[in-house]
Structure 1
């Protein structure tokens, strides 16, 4: 149990937590009447799996998220549905929390097999052509320019800018049939599910609040153990960390109306306000660390290498190294918006305390 100023956080997905500790896939679980949790594996990722939720309807099921587009993921999803008594053809809708491949990747394949509608927030839907379609060349060039402004050395520039290209192979692009906006009530008979727009991890990230059942499906916005990556990149929007912190306050206010949080990874928990408080505290500490380090590491790249990470900087490479740079930049942009640092106009940017 982890204590926070807003009260305790405690694990409700006990089997899921045990599986996490034992480094195995958790079981398919009936969370409550008409609601199932289905773990779908992620290839070559420390996150290991995404939790897909199946909501029973009068004539089938609806899914929250879908998983990566791999055969192993498809098999896990179909077997999980079978455990719940369904087949893929019974899926009527897929509500995607955000367009990262581990949540959105299989949505197109599910639609092909079932005719289900796919729903996204408009801000994420607008990113699809550049991320997974014909606009990817422009997106890559945008990343090169941004990373150059961050001071990334030329010998690493192309590697880091294209570090996410292989991830796109795990997505079967599915233009949404339905745009889901903040406050929308989803057309799911027997459910009172409403969308909560929570930008930060992606511009169109969505959580889903089930008022009657006192549940929050939190996607990647709030996880029980780790902090989601919040980074400035070519598709992030101007100040994603500010957006994230504002969004945390929105969902934290729901805590008294909740019995359980169902995240996209790790395990179910209760005590949302405590977790929100811990996440805000983490970013406050990181902002202070970065503000102090600017005096000796003036570029984003130098700062990133100088900061403390979960493992030594030399052991971080590829996409994870790019994500670290983007995360550092997000903190700098927030400090800049608060008037605590400013950047130079030349390339690469140099940051100084203000």
Structure 2
């Protein structure tokens, strides 16, 4: 545990088996109520690290809320070990439905649609490990949902909720204007970029992500504490780098499509990647799916802007063509 600002502490939680390696969880200590931002995997180690930190800081767990930036497993997976001990779980409406298992679309249905639209063989679905973020549903009475501009007070801080959808449809961040401290979750990271995948028709994930990058680019900040890879020292510089990365990726995709019409899986096999020396065909199936889903989000963005033509119905793979 390391103090990173007045009454704010960073706690690094190991993410065993993940290329991300660790999550930076943050504890804000207040006089009456405190909070923890994101809680890591569902492991005894992550649980004990957080409980030890709370004890060292003298927190009353019942008066300590858990704030979620979003409901990916490395951020919310440990809720089953913690929700009985701590106060409210604060998250977006979308993530509230996810962690209470009230999403009207089942995970199986979501995965089947994702594979189909990407052009990945549905026969490979049975080889996918379970894509479960929370192992048991969290009781809805423990969950408090928030929206953009809502304010959460802990000690000297008044954190305004900022809608950061893109990486996930329910992604939010927390910003204290008085101190200039900003917790963006995975929205802005050092050295790496968050996966911007396809969720469903009409989701506009990449368009939302770009819009929300531009929205926070000029935010007056003193400290930007993301969930991975350490503090972002210049928010404007990092946002500009990420925007340029996506512009380059969009140009690369249109260059690939100029040769012939393709589905997202075909395009993913022809663009540059950096994991495992860029050999996409050697990626584990989960990583192939995530990479292809991100390509599909870029293709959808181009299609929404009228820069490519799309064919394919509800129960068909989407095929994209560049030009007339």
With structure 2 as the length reference, what TM-score do the two structures score?
0.90
Equivalenced residue count is 316
Question: CA–CA distance in 2 between the matches of 1:167 and 1:185?
Answer: 27
Task: Give the secondary-structure state (helix, strand or coil) at the position aligned to 2:111.
Answer: helix
Q: Kindly state the Cα deviation for residue 86 of structure 1 after the two structures are TM-superposed.
A: 2.8
Cα deviation digits, residues 1-24 of structure 1 (max 9, x gap): xxxxxxxxxxxxxxxxxxxxxxxx
Q: What does residue 274 of structure 1 align with?
A: 237
Q: What does residue 8 of structure 1 align with?
A: none
Question: CA–CA distance in 1 between the matches of 2:182 and 2:113?
Answer: 38
Say whether 1:65 aligns with 2:30. no
Of 303, 307, 310, 2:267 maps to 303
Q: What does residue 193 of structure 2 align with?
A: 227
Task: Give the secondary-structure state (helix, strand or coil) at the position aligned to 1:165.
Answer: coil
Q: What does residue 318 of structure 2 align with?
A: 349
5+ long unaligned stretches in structure 1: 1-27
Q: What does residue 35 of structure 1 align with?
A: 8
Q: Kindly state the Cα deviation for residue 113 of structure 1 after the two structures are TM-superposed.
A: 1.2
Question: CA–CA distance in 1 between the matches of 2:210 and 2:46?
Answer: 32
Cα deviation digits, residues 131-155 of structure 1 (max 9, x gap): x57967x331342133123221344
Q: Kindly state the Cα deviation for residue 228 of structure 1 after the two structures are TM-superposed.
A: 0.2
Alignment of 1:150-229 (within 5 A): 150-159=118-127, 162-165=128-131, 168-169=134-135, 173=138, 175=140, 177-229=143-195
Which contiguous aligned blocks of 4+ residues in structure 1 show a shift greater than 6 angstroms? 133-136
| Pair 177,134 (structure 1): closer, same or farther in 2 beyond 3 Å | closer
Task: Give the secondary-structure state (helix, strand or coil) at the position aligned to 2:321.
Answer: strand
Task: Give the secondary-structure state (helix, strand or coil) at the position aligned to 2:165.
Answer: coil
Q: What does residue 25 of structure 1 align with?
A: none
Q: Kindly state the Cα deviation for residue 305 of structure 1 after the two structures are TM-superposed.
A: 1.3
Task: Give the secondary-structure state (helix, strand or coil) at the position aligned to 1:306.
Answer: coil
Q: Kindly state the Cα deviation for residue 308 of structure 1 after the two structures are TM-superposed.
A: 1.1
Q: Kindly state the Cα deviation for residue 231 of structure 1 after the two structures are TM-superposed.
A: 0.3
Question: CA–CA distance in 2 between the matches of 1:68 and 1:86?
Answer: 24
Question: CA–CA distance in 2 between the matches of 1:291 and 1:253?
Answer: 30
- Higher relative contact order, chain-length normalized (CA < 8 Å, sep 6+): 1
Question: CA–CA distance in 1 between the matches of 2:85 and 2:97?
Answer: 25
CA contact (8 A) 1:88 1:113 kept: no
Once structures 1 and 2 are overlaid, which stretch shifts more, 240-249 or 85-94?
85-94
Q: Kindly state the Cα deviation for residue 167 of structure 1 after the two structures are TM-superposed.
A: 5.1
Q: What does residue 260 of structure 1 align with?
A: 223
5+ long unaligned stretches in structure 2: none
Of 262, 280, 291, 1:324 maps to 291
CA contact (8 A) 1:42 1:50 kept: yes
CA contact (8 A) 1:63 1:93 kept: yes
Q: Kindly state the Cα deviation for residue 91 of structure 1 after the two structures are TM-superposed.
A: 4.7
Say whether 1:148 aligns with 2:121. no
Q: Kindly state the Cα deviation for residue 90 of structure 1 after the two structures are TM-superposed.
A: 5.4
Task: Give the secondary-structure state (helix, strand or coil) at the position aligned to 1:113.
Answer: coil
Say whether 1:241 aligns with 2:212. no
